[in-house]
Amino acid sequence: AQSVAQPEDQVNVAEGNPLTVKCTYSVSGNPYLFWYVQYPNRGLQFLLKYITGDNLVKGSYGFEAEFNKSQTSFHLKKPSALVSDSALYFCAVRDRVTGGGNKLTFGTGTQLKVEL
Amino acid sequence: EPEVTQTPSHQVTQMGQEVILRCVPISNHLYFYWYRQILGQKVEFLVSFYNNEISEKSEIFDDQFSVERPDGSNFTLKIRSTKLEDSAMYFCASSGYRGRGTNEKLFFGSGTQLSVL
């Protein structure tokens, strides 16, 4: 079964500093990996995905993620954090669903707190 | 950007009662999903729906659960006899455009918080 692990429940960073939110995965076959963000009282919003190609994937709001096959990791990064980045971040891996569509298996989430 | 809308935002019910959670997916999307998130736990897949039938369901999605797309725009999740452990945030999602095959990006609604007392 496919799975993802987010080892940190919470990450604290000062505004303007770089941030990293960690994710490791376990899949059979080629991984399709995603990051979603959840702001309070909102649904999950797509940030970025890795399907194939460049190991460094750029996404929304200045976020990027680096796919590392040897370490089975897909860490989310941003060079300079903003207070408005404070939210809950989920890593996910995709399973194909019979008949098409996608089933995402999510990690447990990492709460990012960016402070002034 | 287009949005998935869910109603109600909060639902309180008594154990054993039936509840229907409603969702309006993004127009022209082909694939529809329900996920749930128990407080403090991970987001879990419940069911996917395509071409007017369930394409996959998880072990959580037992006989007490059903989904329906009654009128071509709404997508509903029904829980026939709610249990305390059904208390969770339920998210609807949709993906895919006609003519473009599957689309990996799922669009999620803001969720319905279900509280079973």
Chain B residues whose beta carbon lies within 8 Å of the beta carbon of residue A97: 31, 48, 50, 55-56
Interval A69-113: pLDDT, tens: 999 999 999 999 999 999 999 999 987 655 566 788 999 999 999
* C-beta of residue A20 within 8 angstroms of C-beta of residue A75: yes
Identify the CA nearest to B22 among candidates B40, B5, B38, B43. Answer: B5
Interval B42-90: pLDDT, tens: 899 999 998 889 988 999 999 999 999 988 789 999 999 999 999 999 9
Q: CA of A99: which chain B residue's CA is closest?
A: B55
B10 min Cα distance to partner chain A (Å): 11
| CB-CB under 8 Å, A43 with B109 | yes
Count of CB atoms within 10 A of residue B36's CB?
Answer: 23
Query: From the list B4, B55, B109, which residue is nearest A97 (CB)?
Result: B55
